């Protein structure tokens, strides 16, 4: 998803947005038709290649900011405007927010306990990149440098690169909704665990987080 004077030039498959802004709980997302790039094959790298291609395409079209939005996430209505204001206030060309964890049918939600100050973890979907040379480069090169194993925790590598380069600021207010299929999130929030939820391997992600703090 790219911003060009608040006009989207999207880089990803079908995006979603909340259809209601009432209170802390949002209704199920409604479909938004994007300007999509259809890749010839599944790259099987957890979205790293599609983000790389989409970001480069958006910058080439003249976008002045780029954000990523996966199919299992959706934005609060003020997500992008908050990030733009925060970037202008802090002077940081890369900014991000906190996130909500949402259950499989979007009937329950809770603030994400992983996205907190000092954790070194920021979901890729919470990022906004302004048209700054280093921010532009980071947005479409970080995924090219990952090994197959590192793609699984690509957002932690992105976070680490942005922090180490001094580019990143986070306001931690949750304005991204992540519809989780990880058993860990259900157990952690005391929610019923539906069948088919994945076991979340935290060993690799915790190691990466400790390196990025």
Here the CATH number for the domain that contains residue 127 is 3.90.550
Q: Which spans in 68-171 are helix H? A: 79-90, 133-141, 148-151, 154-164
Residue 96 burial (C-beta neighbours within 10 Å; 0-12, 13-18, 19+): buried
List the structure tokens of 25: 């709980």
For residue 110, the model assigns a pLDDT of 97
Q: What separation in angstroms does the CA of 213 have from each of 36, 143, 148?
A: 35, 20, 23
Q: What is the mean pLDDT of each run of 10 residues along the chain (213 residues)?
A: 38 33 41 74 92 94 94 96 97 98 95 94 97 96 92 93 97 97 95 89 42 36
Rounded Cα distance between 12 and 47, Å, is 9
Of 159, 121, 117, 119, nearest in space to 138 by CA: 159
Quote the number of domains for the chain: 1
Give kind and range of the element (H or E) at residue 185: helix 183-188
- For residue 25, which phi and psi values (nearest 5 degrees)? -100, 130
| Residue 113: CB atoms within 10 Å | 11
For residue 82, the model assigns a pLDDT of 97
Q: What residues contact residue 6 under an 8 Å CB cut-off, 6+ apart? A: none
Q: Which domain holds residue 144?
A: 2-212
Rounded Cα distance between 36 and 172, Å, is 29
Residues 135/184, Cβ–Cβ less than 8 Å: no
For residue 200, the model assigns a pLDDT of 63
Maximum C-alpha span of the chain: 46
For residue 85, the model assigns a pLDDT of 97
Rounded Cα distance between 158 and 165, Å, is 11
């Amino acid at each position: 998803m790219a911003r060009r004077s608040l006009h989207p030039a999207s880089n990803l498959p079908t995006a979603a947005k909340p259809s209601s802004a009432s209170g802390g709980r949002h209704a199920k997302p409604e479909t938004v038709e994007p300007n999509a790039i259809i890749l010839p094959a599944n790259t099987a790298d957890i979205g790293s290649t599609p983000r790389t291609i989409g970001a480069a395409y958006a910058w080439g079209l003249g976008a002045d900011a780029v954000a990523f939005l996966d199919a299992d996430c959706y934005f609060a209505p003020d997500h992008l405007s908050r990030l733009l204001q925060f970037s202008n206030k802090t002077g940081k060309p890369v900014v991000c927010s906190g996130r909500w964890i949402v259950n499989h049918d979007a009937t329950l939600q809770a603030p994400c306990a992983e996205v907190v100050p000092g954790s070194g973890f920021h979901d890729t979907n919470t990022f906004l990149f302004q048209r700054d040379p280093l921010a532009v480069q980071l947005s479409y090169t970080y995924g090219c440098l990952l090994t197959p194993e590192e793609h699984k925790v690509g957002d932690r590598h992105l976070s680490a690169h942005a922090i180490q380069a001094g580019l990143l600021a986070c306001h931690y207010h949750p304005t991204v909704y992540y519809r989780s299929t990880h058993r860990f999130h259900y157990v952690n929030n005391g929610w019923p665990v539906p069948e088919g939820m994945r076991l979340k391997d935290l060993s690799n992600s915790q190691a990466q987080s400790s390196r990025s703090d």
